[in-house]
Amino acid sequence: MSEAAESFTVPKGALIGAAAVVLFAIAAGATVRLTGYGHSHMTPPAVVESVDLTFEDSANGLVNIYRASDHSLVRTIHPGESGFVRVAMRGLARERAVAGVGSAPPFVLARHSNGQYTLTDTATRKVLDLNAFGADNLRAFSQLMPGPTVGAANDKDKDGSK
């Protein structure tokens, strides 16, 4: 080894400064966490329409989607269809399994006043912002709502009919 590498020392002031920055960051984070001061929280827009849904997998690969209030069938997803719905629900089901919750509590599919769609797991309080996954994936969930489907007007325009 060279003599310069062996005699390398960090100035004491630099070490004290670095320690002070680290301690300040920890203290600031703890203050926000404990007091809520400086914490930003977004209030979601008002819900315009919502439906409580339950999802059941069958042995033959079908996913049956029921309205929770009366257990009426909303839609059946066949193998190879609606991959996003399947993936989203499997992810939420995995979180329920980790939390020790079964499939009985419903999920709330909601349309908000600003056009945002969310899917909320009532058991774990996990919320998915469905708009973040693109128009096609959003449409897959919006079709489960009793009202008009997202993009329905655009689909008519593409066909040339109005």
Q: For residue 116, give both structure tokens.
A: 């945002």
Report how far residue 64's alpha carbon sits from residue 89's, in angstroms, rounded to the nearest whole number: 12
pLDDT digits (tens, 9 = 90+) for 114-146: 989 999 999 988 999 999 999 999 998 988 887
Backbone angles phi, psi at 18, to 5 degrees: -65, -40
Mean pLDDT by runs of 10 across the 162 residues of the chain is: 69 94 94 80 85 89 89 89 88 89 88 92 90 91 76 44 40
Report how far residue 162's alpha carbon sits from residue 138's, in angstroms, rounded to the nearest whole number: 22
Q: By the 8 A CB rule, do 75 and 86 touch?
A: no
Q: Is the pTM of this model over 0.75?
A: no
The pLDDT score that the predictor gives to residue 117 is 93
Residue spans of the domains in the chain: they are 3-35, 47-148
